[in-house]
Amino acid sequence: MKILLTGGAGYIGGACLRWLIRHGHDPIAYDDLSEGNRSAVPEGRLVVGDILDRDRLASALRDHRAEAVMHFAALASVPDSIADPDNYYRVNVLGTKSVLDAMRDAGVPRIVFSSTAATYGFRAEMPLTEDAPQLPETPYGTTKLAAERMIMDYARAYGLGYAILRYFNASGADECGEHGEDRRCESHLIPLTLQVAAGRRASLDICGDDWPTRDGTCVRDYVHTDDLAEAHRLAVEAIGPGVGRIYNLGSGAGATVLEVLRACEASVGRPIPHRVAPRRPGDPAVLIATPEKINRELGWSPRRSDIRTIVEAAWRWHCGHPDGYGDRS
């Protein structure tokens, strides 16, 4: 299938793009490189552009003769969204509208959307099923929920097929060692911890050790990007015009911040400097998915998403790419 990936030069989009090529599809990335990396995309497969530029995006869709869009492009940091909601509503809500309108202009009938655990309420029962209440408590979660609803409204009115994939904590690096996590402004736990291990930062802040969890630090459900990529492949192949699907993508297990730190220390082979810092605004204590629905309906299961495998893959990538992609434009 010919597929355009908005945000395809980013961390998860780049992993999916490579995975789709390996599995016989023909993907291109459409990315403004605000966070993504030019050399994360294989030669000849990148169109540089902003998703808010509807005409440019529609032309890219027509030129590629796209049959589906995977919409990854977004601003995606919970704490930043609290500090700068303006930008989050612009890119995540208006940007999604622009993507849907460009798809209509170009007659593209399918979309797979990157949604998030952050659309659920903090007080929901764990593990989360897809019908748990969606009561986001941060601007990031609110903007992603608005985008979900917009996709469903467009689908109903204009006959789009869609898959909404609610990822939990994307992590790891591709097993061929070609693609990993390298953002301009990093805020995610595993890359920050490994940057400390590599001497690029002095110490890791543990954001609170007084949460109601087994060791006092937050629990998250870490899911490997290659597992996410396989779910995208299955989802895009399963949807057609007028068919909508919604799935959680997580491992079904949770790791605390301290457990992630210990796993990183085991991979690196030495202690990693850290200290306890205040809680971070917008953090829930625990987020864990149940991936049963996508397992039942599409046969997906997380094969690489135990925390040890994730951290080892990420550390291999960091060792092979000490300066990340090194090609910030």
Ligand X SMILES: O=c1ccn([C@@H]2O[C@H](COP(=O)(O)OP(=O)(O)O[C@H]3O[C@H](CO)[C@@H](O)[C@H](O)[C@H]3O)[C@@H](O)[C@H]2O)c(=O)[nH]1
Ligand Y SMILES: NC(=O)c1ccc[n+]([C@@H]2O[C@H](COP(=O)([O-])OP(=O)(O)OC[C@H]3O[C@@H](n4cnc5c(N)ncnc54)[C@H](O)[C@@H]3O)[C@@H](O)[C@H]2O)c1
Catalogue the active-site residues: 140
Closest CA to 246 of 74, 144, 131: 131
User: What is the nearest approach in angstroms of ligand Y to the Cβ of residue 304?
Assistant: 15
Strands lying side by side in the sheet with 26-31: 46-48, 26-31, 2-6, 68-71, 110-116, 161-167, 244-249
Give which of ligand X, ligand Y, none residue 280 binds (C-beta under 5 to 8 Å, depending on kind). ligand X
Binder of residue 207, out of ligand Y, ligand X, none (CB less than 5 to 8 A by kind): ligand X
**What amino acid is encoded at 262 in this protein?**
R
Of ligand X, ligand Y, none, which one does residue 229 interact with (CB within 5 to 8 Å by kind)? none
Under the binding rule (CB under 6 A), the answer on residue 76 touching ligand X is: yes
Whose Cβ is closer to ligand X: residue 56's or residue 183's? 183
Kindly tell me which of 41 and 204 has the beta carbon lying closer to ligand Y: 41
Q: Cβ 240 to ligand X, closest distance in Å? A: 28
Q: How far is the CB of 52 from ligand Y (least distance, A)?
A: 6
Whether cis (ω within 30° of 0) applies to the bond prior to 127 is yes
State the Cα–Cα distance between residues 173 and 179, nearest whole angstrom.
6
257 binds ligand X (CB under 6 A): yes
Show the 3-state SS of 152-206: HHHHHHHCCEEEEEEECEEECCCCCCCCCCCCCCCCCHHHHHHHHHCCCCCCEEE
Residues that bind ligand Y (CB under 6 A): 6-7, 9-13, 31-36, 50-52, 72-74, 76, 91, 95, 114, 116, 167, 169-170, 183
CA–CA dist 160, 312 (Å, integer): 39
Cα angle 138-143-146, degrees, rounded to a multiple of 5: 125
Answer with the entry of ligand X, ligand Y, none that 106 interacts with (C-beta below 5 to 8 A by kind). none
3: partner contacted, choices ligand X, ligand Y, none (Cβ within 5-8 A by kind): none
Total residues interacting with ligand X, rule: CB under 6 A: 22
- CA quadruple 169, 68, 104, 73: dihedral, nearest 10: 30
Q: Which stretch binds ligand X (CB under 6 A): 3-11, 28-36, 203-211, 319-327?
A: 203-211
Q: Which is nearer to ligand X, 30 or 88 (CB)?
A: 88
Closest C-alpha to 77, from 281, 278, 277, 248: 281
Closest residue by Cα to residue 281 from 141, 83, 135:
83
DSSP 3-state of 62: helix
Work out how close the CB of 203 gets to ligand X at its nearest, in angstroms, rounded to a whole number.
10
Build a one-symbol-per-residue string for 107-146: x at contacts with ligand X by CB under 6 A, - elsewhere.
Answer: ---------xxx----------------------------
Looking at residues 33 to 62 of the shown chain, list those that interact with ligand X (rule: CB under 6 A).
none
The item of ligand Y, ligand X, none sharing an interface with residue 257, based on CB under 5 to 8 Å by kind, is ligand X
Tell me the angle at which helices 189-197 and 307-320 cross, rounded to the nearest 10 degrees. Answer: 50
Q: Does 223 bind ligand X (CB under 6 A)?
A: no
Judged by CB under 6 A, does residue 206 bind ligand X?
yes
CA-CA distance, 128 to 121, in Å (whole number)? Answer: 10
User: Under the rule (CB under 6 A), what is the footprint of ligand X?
Assistant: 76-78, 116-118, 168-169, 187-189, 192, 204-207, 218, 220, 257, 280, 283, 287
